[in-house]
Structure 1
């Protein structure tokens, strides 16, 4: 049994010429989901914070649906639900896209991450001090410049602590990828457990890897927060 586990554990960390390791797949899922979600969330957060209900309401519906339903259900809808629709599997482009477990998983994760990030950023935008906006307007800045130079930079900095927690939660959510047969860390652990019946060792390695990634994320975000939020600390005289 121990020899079998020794054969499996490199699959957690090391890639061969044909297959990526569980660690690489997990990090790929996390990075793509976070980057795609962030890029989509910034403009949606601006729309969500708008006083125009025709602009903010559709975004509210989107975030309400994706935050109000389990990510697992969203993954199943992307992985098996959409492909069952005739216009999807009959279209060569859509059919090829939704036939891939990785594509469906990334789509579900990115849309879910975008919904949470949108609400985090929109809340930070609403909390922007009116004095900052008034000063920018008095300086002669247009509405676009006020957003790009004052509101967004300030809001994104203040949203960083909440956003860092969301990134860690997204890492935890990547464990659902194995249900779509994506070979992430948890999928490798399940395969090792099935072959060796050494449950504690198989899942213990997975737990140690996830904890290591979380530690690295926390360390990185703390360093970033110290740098970008330094202006909020009380200044000595």
Structure 2
């Protein structure tokens, strides 16, 4: 892995030299930038994955949960979509310190004392709210006859959701889910304010030592590369999963 990172860094340095950027600066911080990219990808990937696991029951609760569960799900979504992610991150990271004794007593302080864990926890709760709304919209877009047909075939309501409704809702919401992933990649820069050395955290460190604004140009380029890769991968997924919709147009 170290050899691969060094090869990537050397190639990047060569490209930087060709376009007249500061190669010496990249030699000092190039590997740190690549480490920051991996931290960013880990942060976003874990948050999106865990957020999806929370979003599924939240979306179903909005549609099928009755008066209490539906309102509880709406309140959760309303709070996390209506407040800034930065404020939520501060609440978790600095707020956890206010309850150190209680968290230690229940064995959770080891988790909340780590800035990366706090960032993953906060981002998970935030993206779960957005993903749940996307899935809810996908579920409610489907004709009611889908559920009736599934139950007529002998499927329970749970299996009807698992095999019929949710796969179609995810396919319908694939594009906005991709947009949410892109937004999370860009929003992950917030983690740097609580000492997580993601891409933006490494950029701030490099600038504090070099006072060269060029490092922010590198950061912007790397974020753009990540977003472009996601966009292209998502286009392929959408064409494959929704090809039946494209053929019917």
- Does the alignment reach a TM-score above 0.5? yes
Equivalent of 1:44 in 30, 45, 58: 58
Equivalent of 2:150 in 113, 136, 141: 136
Residue of structure 2 in register with 1:72 after alignment = 86
Equivalent-residue separation in structure 2 for 1:121 and 1:88 (angstroms):
36
Residue of structure 2 in register with 1:212 after alignment = 225
Equivalent of 1:9 in 30, 50, 54: 30
| Contact 1:178–1:186 (8 Å) recurs in 2 | yes
Give the unaligned 5+ runs of structure 1: 14-20
Higher percent of residues as helix: 2
Equivalent-residue separation in structure 1 for 2:195 and 2:100 (angstroms):
23
Sort the Cα spacing of 1:136 and 1:89 in 2 relative to 1 into closer, same or farther, 3 A. Answer: closer
**What SS is found at the alignment partner of 1:223?**
helix
Higher relative contact order (CA 8 A, sep 6+): 1
Equivalent of 2:209 in 195, 212, 217: 195
| Contact 1:4–1:195 (8 Å) recurs in 2 | no
| Contact 1:34–1:113 (8 Å) recurs in 2 | yes
Equivalent-residue separation in structure 2 for 1:99 and 1:9 (angstroms):
29
Report how many residues are paired. 228
Give the unaligned 5+ runs of structure 2: 1-21
Equivalent-residue separation in structure 1 for 2:24 and 2:245 (angstroms):
55
- The equivalences for 1:176-187 within 5 A come to 176-187=190-201
| Contact 2:100–2:109 (8 Å) recurs in 1 | no
TM-score, normalised to structure 1, is: 0.90
